[in-house]
């Protein structure tokens, strides 16, 4: 049972496993399927064990984590989860990548796909082929990180819901930095098309969508000002309500438009999200747990290693709005 688990900061040091994964092995979720704790994961059960409330009217302060040496072990995981919430709220990665790869290293060798031939074929003719080739050189994973300058004395009396806002915002800054890398990598080497005028029209959007022939463009990444222009088009008036439901807008022909402040001001990136690119991760979110647990830290740091690998260049298109 969760009350019997002996928490140890060494749980953070087990290669290939997160703190929660280690906890779950010691306290499996299956044991709570028909109990009042169903729906809580192993970390959340430990919060209940030590009566730590991280939100709501009776939210605790930071020092509640440090009431015992065992409950102190939970604080870095709380930080990690808040950072992840911030990254997820700001990063556009969700829904635009065909795959997410995890590697153990600082660099990776991407591969790309080329297609030759077509069907139907006559007898004695070479079969159409999909050729997979490794890139000529490896690429390094990029480190995205953030830091909160503080001391335990400065934060110990802060309510956890308010303190969580600060940590999530650090995560959001990391997420926005990742967006810059995503947009840069996706558009690199892609020859853009240009609109005929300095403002975008619905016909421009439709033509851009139709320019992807062998793949199906289902995502467009847009900077805010350009997205506002698109939403103001008469043809989009029945689509704006989608934003109120999901936070994302679809065109009448089904393309999801994603607002990204880190995209170039005059550029739209169109993707077939099922084939265009892979997100490569070298780590989960890393929090410097030792100093935090021991209350010796003058700062809280978090980092993640990531990069983007293009898989099918034909599944990526770029549209630039004429500036003059």
pLDDT tens readout for residues 213-242: 889 999 999 999 999 999 899 998 878 776
Render pLDDT for 268-312 as a digit per residue (tens, 0 to 9). Answer: 999 999 999 999 999 889 998 888 888 767 789 999 999 999 999
- What structural domains does the chain harbor? 1-49 (no CATH), 190-279+310-320 (3.30.2320.10)
Question: Does 82 have pLDDT greater than 90?
Answer: yes
Tell me which residue of 178, 175, 168 sits closest to 141, measured CA to CA: 178
Query: What is the chain's mean pLDDT, rounded?
Result: 90
8 A C-beta contact, residue 97 and residue 273:
yes
Question: Does 100 have pLDDT greater than 70?
Answer: yes
Distance (Å, rounded) from C-alpha 82 to C-alpha 306? 19
Helix (H, G, I), strand (E, B) or coil at 126: coil
pLDDT band at 247 (very low <50, low <70, confident <90, very high): low
**What is the share, in percent, of the chain residues with pLDDT greater than 70?**
98
8 A C-beta contact, residue 221 and residue 95:
no
pLDDT at position 246 is 63
Structure-token pair, residue 153: 């004395």
Distance (Å, rounded) from C-alpha 38 to C-alpha 116? 52
∠ CA(102), CA(104), CA(106), 5° rounding?
Answer: 105
Distance (Å, rounded) from C-alpha 184 to C-alpha 15? 31
Q: Could you give the count of Cα atoms lying within 13 Å of 98 in the half-sphere of its Cβ? A: 20
Helix (H, G, I), strand (E, B) or coil at 31: helix
pLDDT at position 9 is 92
pLDDT at position 2 is 86
Helix (H, G, I), strand (E, B) or coil at 200: coil
Average pLDDT of the segment spanning 24-28: 94
Average pLDDT of the segment spanning 181-201: 94
pLDDT at position 211 is 94
Render pLDDT for 111-162 as a digit per residue (tens, 0 to 9). Answer: 777 777 878 887 778 888 888 888 777 889 999 999 999 888 889 999 999 9
Question: Does 181 have pLDDT greater than 90?
Answer: yes
3-state helix, strand, coil in the chain (%, to 5): 35, 20, 40
Q: Where are the beta strands (DSSP E) in 150-266?
A: 193-194, 219-222, 249-250, 256-259
Report the length, in residues, of the chain: 324
pLDDT at position 72 is 94
Question: Does 15 have pLDDT greater than 90?
Answer: no
pLDDT at position 111 is 74
């Amino acid at each position: 049972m969760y009350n019997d688990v002996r928490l140890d900061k060494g749980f953070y040091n087990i290669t290939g496993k997160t703190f929660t994964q280690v906890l779950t092995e010691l306290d499996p979720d299956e044991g709570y399927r028909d109990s009042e704790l169903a729906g809580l994961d192993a970390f959340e059960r430990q919060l209940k064990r030590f009566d730590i409330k991280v939100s709501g009217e009776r939210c605790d302060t930071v020092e509640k984590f440090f009431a015992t040496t065992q409950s102190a072990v939970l604080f870095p995981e709380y930080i990690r989860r808040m950072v992840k919430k911030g990254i997820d709220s700001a990063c556009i990665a969700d829904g635009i990548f065909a795959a997410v790869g995890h590697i153990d290293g600082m660099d990776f060798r991407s591969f790309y796909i080329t297609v030759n031939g077509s069907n139907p074929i006559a007898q004695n003719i070479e079969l159409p082929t999909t050729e997979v080739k490794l890139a000529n050189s490896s690429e390094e994973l990029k480190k995205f990180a953030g830091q909160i300058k503080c001391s335990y004395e400065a934060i110990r009396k802060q309510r956890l819901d308010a303190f969580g806002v600060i940590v999530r915002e650090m995560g959001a800054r990391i997420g926005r930095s990742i967006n810059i890398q995503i947009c840069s990598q996706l558009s690199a080497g892609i020859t853009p098309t240009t609109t005929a005028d300095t403002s975008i029209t619905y016909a421009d959007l439709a033509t851009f969508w139709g320019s992807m022939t062998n793949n199906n463009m289902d995502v467009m990444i847009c900077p805010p000002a350009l997205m506002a222009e698109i939403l103001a088009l008469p043809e989009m008036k029945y689509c704006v309500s989608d934003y109120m439901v999901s936070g994302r807008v679809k065109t009448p022909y089904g393309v999801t438009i994603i607002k990204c402040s880190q995209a170039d001001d005059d550029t739209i990136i169109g993707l077939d999200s099922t084939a265009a690119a892979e997100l490569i991760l070298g780590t989960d979110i890393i929090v410097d747990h030792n100093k935090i647990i021991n209350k010796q830290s003058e700062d809280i740091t978090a980092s993640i290693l990531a990069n983007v690998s293009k898989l099918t260049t034909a599944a990526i298109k770029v549209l630039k709005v004429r500036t003059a």
